[in-house]
Amino acid sequence: MASSNFYLLSVLLIMIASGARATDPTPLQDFCVADKDSPVRVNGLPCKDVKDVKVDDFFLAADLDKPRDTTMRKVKSNVTLINVMKLAGLNTLGISMARIDYAPQGQNPPHTHPRATEILTVLEGSLYVGFVTSNPDNKFFRKLLNKGDVFVFPQGLIHFQFNPSHDKPAVAIAALSSQNPGAITISNAVFGSKPPIADDVLAKAFQVDKKVVDWLQAQFWEDNHN
């Protein structure tokens, strides 16, 4: 009986440890300011020597109160991401954030964050948002959000935001549960990969003529992040 309980406890501890490794690691010290100039390569960024840490390592004059230009992008949105590459003090803390500006009829197109859950708050305007669950169900959850509303996008799931207004911009702030959440925009990854995915493969996958795939691959697939 004791050996059985020990076995069950061991399995439980392994499961907990595995779950912990699925997200950013928990800090083992007060902070670990990123040393971006270090030649050391680790999963994340190495720590700056504590004696060299300054208050500005935890500060960024990001001007997140100012509107961003959405006119230069085809999708009519602009994502200003604050991650560990811009704010060194975020290293090992498992969090980042973004301001997202949407022109009228602008969208943050379907994408995923492979390393983070996202919680989004609408500051101005309205947003039609949604996400799709994994196979086999591919259930679509969607909602029209108004100013002050909050919505959660689970880690790794395809999601989007769209400004339905024809004459008013929208603004949102997002928090993400990783210092480096990553973003994979579906259209860019599928049709704008370098080198391109064979059109035979995509024609079969999307069940369309290869000419359609060739046309899509010939488009300019831009990034709406800065």
Local structure of residue 24 (DSSP, 8 states): S
**Residue positions in the annotated binding site for Mn(2+)?**
111, 113, 118, 159
Asked if residue 103 lies in contact with residue 77, where contact means CB atoms within 8 angstroms, the answer is yes
**Residue positions in the annotated binding site for oxalate?**
108, 113, 118
Cα–Cα distance between 197 and 156 in angstroms, integer?
22
31's tokens = 């902070």
142's tokens = 């969607």
Q: Is the peptide bond before 196 cis (omega within 30 degrees of 0)?
A: no
Q: Which is nearest to 173 in space by CA: 148, 193, 198, 203?
A: 148
**Residue positions in the annotated binding site?**
108, 111, 113, 118, 159
Give residue 80's Cα distance to chain centre: 11
The residue type of 127 is L
Provide CB contacts within 8 A for 153, sequence distance 6+.
113, 117, 118, 119, 120, 129, 131, 159
Cα–Cα distance between 120 and 162 in angstroms, integer?
13
Asked if residue 109 lies in contact with residue 191, where contact means CB atoms within 8 angstroms, the answer is no
Is 91 exposed, middle or buried, given 0-12, 13-18 or 19+ CB atoms closer than 10 A?
buried
